[in-house]
Amino acid sequence: MRLGNDLKRCRFDAGDLSQEALARAVGVTRQTIIAVEKGRFVPSTLLGLRLARFLGKPVEKIFWIVEDAPEPR
């Protein structure tokens, strides 16, 4: 399993919000936002909720669980 996200699209839906502006609004670095968008970093529950609140979306519209296919035996 892994965490999927639509953070980049949600930023654009919020008025073409920059990564830097979003990062400042939720108290993280731009590099953190980049890493979340690329799926290299799984945000804490607190950060996920801050992002959702700031973007005005339910957290489930930004993040979801991706069920990867099981490895063949």
Domain range list for the chain: 2-66
Chain mean pLDDT for the chain: 95
Q: Which residues of 29-68 are buried (b: 16+ CB within 10 A; e: fewer)?
A: eeebbeebbeeebebeeebbebbbeebebeeeebbeeeee
Residue 71: count of CB within 10 angstroms of its CB:
5
DSSP state of 72: P
Query: Tens digits of per-residue pLDDT, 13-26?
Result: 999 999 999 999 99
CATH number 1.10.260.40 is the correct assignment for the domain at 2-66: yes
**pLDDT score at 47:** 98
Three-class SS string for 5-18? ECHHHHHHHCCCCC
User: Which tens digit of pLDDT belongs to each residue from 52-61?
Assistant: 999 999 999 9
pTM of the model: 0.88
